[in-house]
Chains A and B, each alone.
Chain A
Amino acid sequence: MIVSVQNYHQSFGKRSILTNLNFQIQKGEIVGLIGPSGSGKTTLIKTLIGLQRPTQGEVHVLGHQQPTLKVSKEIGYMAQSDALYEDLSARGNLAYFGKLYGLRKDILKNRVNFVLAFVDLLKDADRPVRYFSGGMKRRLSLAISLVHQPPFLLLDEPTVGIDPTLKQLFWKEFESLRENGVTLLITTHIMDEAERCDRLLLIQNGQLVVSGTPDMLKQKFGSIENAFLKKEEV
């Protein structure tokens, strides 16, 4: 089991963000975390990485209770906004994060080149990131999340602001990662992306309202979009 969340609550001060979440994620799944903006998706992601302590309940990732530095190495993270060092080159950014994840020098070089090729940035590898287009920055962010070969990937809206061609490329890469036994949790509110997931978690108003395969959601509500909309009315 990759993720196990039990009776998890999260609140900031008096404001409650997430209430009583319970779910699990198995190895080798692509799980889609869907829900309207402000429903608490990013808050959940941050707890899963260990950037905040659960107010209540337990969150286990790869057998370790979060927050702990022990699993940081096993998680690949792509934030909603591109968190890149603009003055450094793509290679410089990758090498920095690779080193922080403890990659040895000889391995680091190979891994950097491998992920650069994976996201098709090899020929721009030595240019400073500030000259990059939005799509190139997204690709570099994805490459950074992959550099240390993590078995579990947390991607917060990875395809926001990129063109359809690049989106197709991203999803092909996600699927090829799954082939290699990597588990992915991807947040999105784009319906055709949701359909490509193995399983969906729908969060609304801080609660997990539906969990199931895209087909299950379609049978129950007619379409995934309906599930999204209907539940929001409740």
Chain B
Amino acid sequence: MQSIIVAQRVIAQVVKDKRTIGMMLVAPLFVLFLMYTIFGASSDDVTIGIVNLPEEVTQLLKEEATVITFPTNNDAKKAMIEQKIDASISFENETAHILVEGGNVSKNASAIQKIQRTLTVLTLEKSHVQIQSLNELVVQLQEQLRLITGQTPEKVAIPKTLSQKSSISFLYGDSELDLFDQLAPALMGFFIFFFVFLISGVSFLKERSSGTLERTLATPLKRSSIVLGYFIGFFLFVIIQTILIQLFIVNILGVTQNGNYGILLLVNLLTASVALALGLLLSSFSRSEFQLIQFIPLVIIPQIFFSGMFDLSDAPTWVEFINRIVPLTYAAEALQNVMTRGHTFIDIWPNLLVLIGFVIGFFLLNMKVLKKQRPV
């Protein structure tokens, strides 16, 4: 009951503070939209310079990339220095010489891939032609044999050319999934975590630095009611924020979402709860807003690495250990499994349990820290 009084006051305060509302509701959407646009802006189009290339190769390469013809290797190199082409290819003695620019990893990889694909097609076509001429030769030989011996020889089975086609299908999603689709669940978790942490931390800190926390502790209010009250008060805004972010990512940006909408919301709200409890706790260890901000590179940024955006399969044991003790690992794993793989409650409940554990743990720690301010 007492915590409701605190919660009501927190709500009244936030409503009157337009900046905080903006920070909570508009800022995450803005950042996400920016990110969505930027991820969509990169292309794998490459320009390849060619020198002295057989016509058939040029034709094949044109299907893959933009092609510019240069009279000599030096001209091609000059164009590469001016960053007009990403790679160049020339033929000498039946060998392809490829020069790659080397400054842009993704474009270079794309250029190499495209050239190699062209050369593979070329080889296959050549062998196809060779096999066909061999086959014709066999038919001619059989005809001559018949003429010489007067007997019809047994037909020799002529091997068919290898099929070049392969079919790829996906267990989850389809080939239309792009980078943002893959990162979106982790990003969603991270942004919810980050913004909730920031706002709850700063607000509770304000209470400390303005003296109102001490003043409140001079009333009969229980310590647990203070923390719980703050939690409840902010949770209301967190619900709105989380729904907005989820709506934005899933419905407006159209990120692939194969899971249950309600379960996704549940995971997001638990993620936000962990951030809320952590923000309240860490503000207890800061004397100013600046000191709280100092926690961000220490506590928040490293969690990006564990949010599922990076593959940690080959990481050393101690990294795996950190990975297992930070909350965002569990949140991101659940989010990715729900959104991309369509997992349901039965699959992800252990993750949810861990998140609840974090909330309770931070909450109890916070009460213990508050004991320094009032022993009873």
- Taking Cβ atoms with an 8 Å cutoff, the residues of A that contact B are 49-53, 67-69, 72-73, 75, 77, 79, 81-88, 92, 96-97, 99-102, 128, 144
Contact of B220 among A51, A67, A101, A144 (CB under 8 A): A101
Across the interface, A87 reaches (CB within 8 A) one of B16, B219, B374, namely B16
A83 to B359 CA separation, bound complex (whole angstroms): 29
Structural contact, A73 and B220, CB atoms closer than 8 A: yes
Cβ distance A142 to chain B, nearest Cβ, rounded Å: 13
Query: Given the complex, which residues of A lie within 8 Å of B365, measured CB to CB?
Result: none
Q: Which of B12, B13, B219, B375 contacts A101 (CB 8 A)?
A: B219
Q: Which of B17, B216, B222 has the most CB of A within 10 A?
A: B216
Of all A-B residue pairs in the complex, the 8 with the closest CB atoms, nearest first, are A83-B211, A83-B215, A72-B220, A100-B219, A53-B375, A87-B16, A77-B218, A83-B212
Query: Is A75 a contact partner of B13 (Cβ separation < 8 A)?
Result: no
Residues of B within 8 Å of A50, CB to CB, are: 218, 374-376
Pull 5 A–B residue pairs with CB atoms less than 8 Å apart, ordered by A. A51-B218, A52-B374, A52-B375, A83-B214, A85-B210
B220 and A79 contact, CB distance less than 8 A:
no
Residue B2 lies at the interface, judged by CB distance under 8 Å to chain A:
yes
Q: Does B322 contact A (CB under 8 A)?
A: no
Interface contact A81-B211, CB-CB below 8 Å: yes
Q: Does B62 contact A (CB under 8 A)?
A: no
Residues in B whose Cβ lies below 8 Å from that of A92: 9, 12
Size range of the chain B interface in the assembly: 20 to 34
Residues of B within 8 A of A100 (CB): 2, 5, 216, 219-221
Structural contact, B214 and A99, CB atoms closer than 8 A: no
Q: Is B217 an interface residue (CB 8 A)?
A: yes
Residues in chain A near residue B220, CB distance under 8 A:
69, 72-73, 100-102
Question: In the complex, which of the residues A82, A87, A99 contacts B5, with contact meaning CB atoms closer than 8 Å?
Answer: A99
With both beta carbons as reference points, the residue of chain A lying nearest to B17 in the complex is identified as: A87
Report B205-233 CB contacts with A as 1/0, cut-off 8 Å.
Answer: 00000111011111111100000000000
Closest to B375 in A: A53
Q: Which of B357-376 contact A (CB under 8 A)?
A: 373-376
Q: Are A67 and B215 in contact (CB under 8 A)?
A: no
Footprint of A on B, CB under 8 Å? Answer: 2, 5, 9, 12-13, 16-17, 210-212, 214-222, 373-376
With A88-B9, A92-B12 in contact, is A51–B215 under 8 Å at CB?
no
B376 to chain A, nearest CB (A): 5
In addition to A52-B374, A72-B220, A84-B212, 6 A-B residue pairs with Cβ atoms within 8 Å of each other are A50-B218, A50-B375, A67-B374, A82-B211, A85-B13, A128-B16
Which residues of chain A come closer than 8 Å to B17, judged between CB atoms?
87
On whether A88 and B211 interact (CB within 8 A), knowing A49-B218, A100-B220, the answer reads no
Alpha-carbon gap, A85 to B220, bound state (A): 18
Interface centre among B13, B211, B218, B222 (most CB of A within 10 A): B218
| Inter-chain contact A51/B374, CB cutoff 8 Å | yes
Q: Does A87 contact B13, Cβ atoms closer than 8 Å?
A: yes
Q: Once the chains are docked, how many angstroms separate the CA of A86 from the CA of B376?
A: 28
**Complex contacts, A87 vs chain B, CB 8 Å:** 12-13, 16-17
Q: Is the CB of A79 within 8 A of B217?
A: no
Chain A residues within an 8 Å CB radius of B214: 51, 79, 83
Chain B contacts of A86 at CB under 8 A?
210
A82 and B214 CA atoms in complex are apart in Å by 11
> Which residues of chain A are near B211, meaning CB under 8 Å?
79, 81-83
- Min distance, Cβ B7 to any Cβ of chain A, angstroms: 11
